[in-house]
Chain A
Amino acid sequence: AQSVTQLGSHVSVSEGALVLLRCNYSSSVPPYLFWYVQYPNQGLQLLLKYTSAATLVKGINGFEAEFKKSETSFHLTKPSAHMSDAAEYFCAVSGDQAGTALIFGKGTTLSVSS
Chain B
Amino acid sequence: NAGVTQTPKFQVLKTGQSMTLQCAQDMNHNSMYWYRQDPGMGLRLIYYSASEGTTDKGEVPNGYNVSRLNKREFSLRLESAAPSQTSVYFCASVPRAGGATEAFFGQGTRLTVV
Contacts and interface: CB of A to CB of B under 8 A. Distances in A.
A102 B92 contact: yes
B47 to A, nearest CB: 9
Interface string B75-98: 000000000000000101010111
Interface of B: 4, 31, 33, 35, 40-45, 48, 50-51, 54, 56, 58-59, 90, 92, 94, 96-100, 102-103, 105-108
- Secondary structure at the B interface, as helix, strand, loop or mixed, is loop
Interface residues of A, number: 28
Contact of B98 (A99, A104, A107): A99
A90 interface: yes
B98 A44 contact: no
Contacts of B33: 101-102
Interface of A: 6, 9, 32, 34, 36, 42-46, 49-51, 90, 94-107
Contacts of A90: 42-43
